[in-house]
Structure 1
């Protein structure tokens, strides 16, 4: 379960790379009730998605030529430089090295050995998101990967995750937790890409899940707002009812109405 008591390896931030910040703000505002607050003129268009005055995500313009719209998940680190070295030693790639974001903290971006992009956040004045697991906020981080075994080893080395494999029919789902945290510290999962997905051109990627009160209602609203359904609502016993969507710009995310404990 995600909390705002951020420990090394836990998701502590996420942001959306968008070709049209106003359009993205309108979509997610209608879908989740988020409001947009600019980080200021010096931030290059970057700003925060807030819910009830709490920062729950962020959004910024696409910076690199040829970049595609998408969500980036950040994981807590106490030392971004050390994490960058660990990424390289474990077979990953440093997309951009650690740098200061004013006094808020330090960030760095990486690609894992299977091709999935992610980032880390070393807190300064900004510790991380103000709210998680509540309706309209991040509640789970899921890696869809072409090589689950390589990914498990990589993130275990770089972020110190513990992993528990769960057979699900024809494939194995891996639940990951922060180091030594046990089941209560579960933060996400590793899901192997199916052969038909890879044949269709789907590549390794991280997928954020947002908690919602009513999965079907949110999916219907997303479609009315111009989003697309990648996976229609489905119920997993003991987990919840979930669906995968794309926003109007093509950024993928999932929603889940979690089962009651």
Structure 2
């Protein structure tokens, strides 16, 4: 482990089972439960966990936005939708790439980005 580097992230989840199923099916993450109110996730690029809470993480309320990377943005968006995610912002361009925002089953906002399309 590197000292002074971001090592772990924790996010709220109203329904741990729904979020575990969503992220497992959509992104291939694995989980380890630590009691009934906490589940750690792995295989995500940065390890973290979901804790049971009745609130959600949204940038509009001051929370950090967690951004994932995907080689194929369109197929990732389709998997998000088919597994129960809600598209908050459809694919748009920004300097350096393209991305979309989605809500997980518990209402947390995430983004997925990819490199720009080749001309």
- 2:9: which partner in 1? 14
SS in 1 for 2:47: strand
Q: 1:210 aligns with which of 47, 59, 68?
A: 68
**Per-residue deviation, 1:50:** 1.4
TM-score of the two chains, using structure 2 as the length reference:
0.80
Where do 5+ consecutive residues of structure 2 fail to align? none
Q: Report the number of matched residues.
A: 116
Higher relative contact order (CA 8 A, sep 6+): 2
Distance 1:242 1:6 in 2: 31
Structure 1 ranges of 4+ moved more than 4 A: none
Alpha-carbon distance, 1:38 to partner: 1.7
Tell me the SS of whatever aligns to 1:25: helix
- Cα deviations across residues 38-75 of structure 1 (Å, max 9, x unaligned)? 23x4xx531211118x862211211xxxx41237xxxx
User: Does the alignment pair 1:47 with 2:39?
Assistant: yes
**TM-superposition CA deviations, 1:137-167 (whole Å, max 9, x none):** xxxxxxx5xxxxxxxxxxxxxxxxxxxxxxx
Q: Whole-Å Cα distance in 1 between the matches of residues 49 and 92 of structure 2?
A: 28
Question: Which one has the largest radius of gyration?
Answer: 1
Give RMSD over aligned pairs.
2.4
Partner residue of 1:225 out of 71, 74, 83: 83
CA distance in 2, matches of 1:24, 1:38: 13
Higher fraction of strand: 1
TM-score between both structures, scaled by the size of structure 1 = 0.40
Counterpart contact for 1:48–1:55, Cα < 8 Å: no
Structure 1: runs of 5+ lacking an equivalent: 72-143, 145-201
Residues 204 and 70 from structure 1, CA distance in 2 versus in 1: closer, same or farther, beyond 3 angstroms? Answer: closer
